[in-house]
Amino acid sequence: MLAVIGEQVDAQVGRVTMRLPRAAAEAAVDAWARDELGGRVPETHEEYALRDQAAELALIGLAISQRGRWEGDEVVIDLDVASAGAAVRAAQ
């Protein structure tokens, strides 16, 4: 049922327009540009969750790089609702 609800949300929302402060936007872009060094090693659940959040941050950085519009000390970006949701979950 969660997937059914997700399909409905996606059909109605898709992207949300966000304003992010410069420091947060630049950190996300830096996360996208970062090279991953080393191979995969066994990780704890907490390490996996942290790596998942880092990946979401990097994808937001990619979106900012491609579609972000700088307005003074903020960037305006249309984020996929899934990326916006991941950011909200990280804040909780």
User: What's the pLDDT tens digit per position in 27-83?
Assistant: 999 999 887 666 567 878 888 888 889 999 999 999 999 999 999 999 999 999 889
Residues shown for the chain: 92
Domain contains 57: yes
Question: How many structural domains does the chain have?
Answer: 1
For residues 30 and 61, the answer to whether their CB atoms sit within 8 Å is yes
> In this structure, is residue 46 part of a structural domain?
yes
Is residue 9 in a domain?
A: no
Residue 39 confidence (pLDDT): 59
Mean pLDDT of 1-11: 86
pLDDT of residue 13: 85
Please give the model's pTM, rounded to 2 decimal places. Answer: 0.82
In this structure, is residue 8 part of a structural domain? no
Report yes or no: 61 and 29 within 8 Å, Cβ to Cβ. yes
Domain assignment present for 24:
yes
Q: Is residue 67 part of a domain?
A: yes
Q: How far apart are the first and last CA of the chain?
A: 23
pLDDT score at 66: 96
Q: How many Cα neighbours within 13 Å face the side chain of 49?
A: 6
Higher pLDDT, 36 or 18: 18
Range of the domain at 31: 14-35+42-91
In a domain, 6, yes or no: no
User: How confident is the model at residue 41, as a pLDDT?
Assistant: 73
**Per-residue pLDDT, 5:** 87
Neighbours of 25 (CB within 10 A): 23
